[in-house]
Structure 1
């Protein structure tokens, strides 16, 4: 499926402000970036680098006054996330090296405090994909998905005490529970074509059966094209922008995803 994605961020900076940005999706897995545009207004120099997790990042200093970041991309993406109910648990000693960082507790995913709970939730499941599904079902039964209800980032432990949550919080809980079972799990931020109201979206992936699979506690199925922008241990690793110095207000943010009739010409 061909999609056109776009994201726009508008700021008004009282002083020149350093930024780290993470807004460029990369080709790989179930997505191919055919064309993209990245516009800074006014134009300023930017340095691009790849972080520890392979995300494409940009470093720049905004000028004083109005500053806008606009990105768009034409992307060929899978129209559904595949599933494998019989994918087995991979013992830690057989995991690839790049999956190991996603086993540890992290800032917002205190997996070391969820060991007993994760074992109870998955007590009747075969190790692997089935455990991940049981975790997703537990989150859906425990938390009401309430998009737009939480601006403050909360951890898995705090999310587990609430009755409603945003996608990011639900992903944190899923990641922590998976890691408590020695299943590598990582957060993904990106676009979901079917999301309403439209915004950037967060879900998680777990490593079972020798590869990463998508899990999304906000959905009862995995329909709709997804475009991943960034991967990380939790929300601290996948912020689309990080601003340094005096706090700066985001004046406006807009996100859009449209289907294209075919490949761009």
Structure 2
């Protein structure tokens, strides 16, 4: 299937401000980028680099006053994410080197605090994919999904105590529990077709049976096209914009995702 997605951000900048952006998805996995646009207004020089997680990042200095960023992309992607009940656990000594950073505790995924809880949640499940499914079921049944209510980033421990959270918070909890079982898990931010209310979305992926699989406790199934923008250990690694210096005002953010028959000419 083909999706067209766009993000339009408007800012009021008090003084010239360095920004680090992360708004360009890459081809790979289950997505192919056929066309994209990236417009800064007013136009300013930007430098692009690839970070240590493989994300495309842009550096620039936003001028004082009104400043906007508009990105759009045409993507060929799957209509649903793959599922693989029974897919086996990969022992740590057999994991690829690039997956190892996703085993450690991180700022918002304190996996060292979830060993007993993760073992209890997954008791009786086959090691691997079925353990991750049990974790997602636990989160879906015990944490109330409250989209639009999470302005402050909270950790896995905090969302588990609070019993409610946004997609980002629920992904943190899933990641922490997977890592507690020695399953590499990474945070993903991107677009999801049909998300209500429409916004950028977060989910997580776990490395099982020699590949990454998608898990999302906010959705009842894995239907709907997804476009991954960035990957990291947790939300701290994948902010779509990071400012340095004086605070700036985000006036608005408009996210749109829809199906199309094919890439634009």
Instruction: Report the CA distance between 1:264 and its aligned residue.
Output: 2.5
**Counterpart in the other structure of 2:139:** 139
Q: TM-score with structure 1 length normalisation?
A: 0.99
Equivalent position of 1:125 in the other structure: 125
SS at match of 2:162: coil
User: Which residue in the other structure is 1:259 paired with?
Assistant: 259
Partner Cα separation in structure 2 for residue 107 and residue 168 of structure 1: 13
Shift of 1:189: 0.1
Q: Distance in 1 between the 2:143 and 2:249 partners?
A: 30
Cα distance in 2 for residues equivalent to 1:195 and 1:45: 33
Matched with 2:247 is 247
For 2:92, the equivalent position in structure 1 comes to: 92
TM-aligned CA deviation for residue 200 of structure 1 = 0.2
Deviation at 1:261, TM superposition (A): 1.8
Where does 1:230-245 land on structure 2 (aligned, <5 Å)?
Answer: 230-245=230-245
Q: Over aligned residue pairs, what C-alpha RMSD do you find?
A: 0.6
Deviations 1:148-181 (A, max 9, x none): 0110000000000012110000000000000000
1:222 pairs with 2:197? no
Whole-angstrom CA distance in 2 between matches of 1:104 and 1:262? 40
Q: In structure 2, how many angstroms separate the alpha carbons of the residues matched to 1:152 and 1:67?
A: 24
Structure 1 partner of 2:27: 27
Partner Cα separation in structure 1 for residue 100 and residue 161 of structure 2: 28
| CA drift at 1:86 | 1.5
Corresponding residue number in structure 2 for 1:187: 187
Name the CA distance, whole Å, in 1 between partners of 2:42 and 2:264: 28
Tell me, what secondary structure is at the counterpart of 1:264? coil
Deviation per CA, 1:211-257: give whole Å up to 9, x if none. 00000000110110000000000000010000010111101100000
> Deviation string for 1:100-122 (max 9, x for gaps)?
00000000000001001100111
Gaps of 5+ in 2: none
Query: Structure 1 unaligned runs (5+)?
Result: none
TM-score, structure 2 as length reference = 0.99
How many Å separate the matches in 1 of 2:124 and 2:43? 57
Contact 2:156-2:176 at 8 Å conserved across structures = yes
Distance 2:51 2:92 in 1: 24
Q: How many residues align?
A: 265
1:108-119 equivalences under 5 Å are 108-119=108-119
1:101 and 1:164 map into 2 onto residues whose CA distance is 28
C-alpha separation between the residues in 2 aligned to 1:220 and 1:123? Answer: 22
Deviations 1:47-99 (A, max 9, x none): 00000000000000000100000000111111100111021000000000000
Paired with 1:47 and 1:28, the residues of 2 have a C-alpha distance of 22
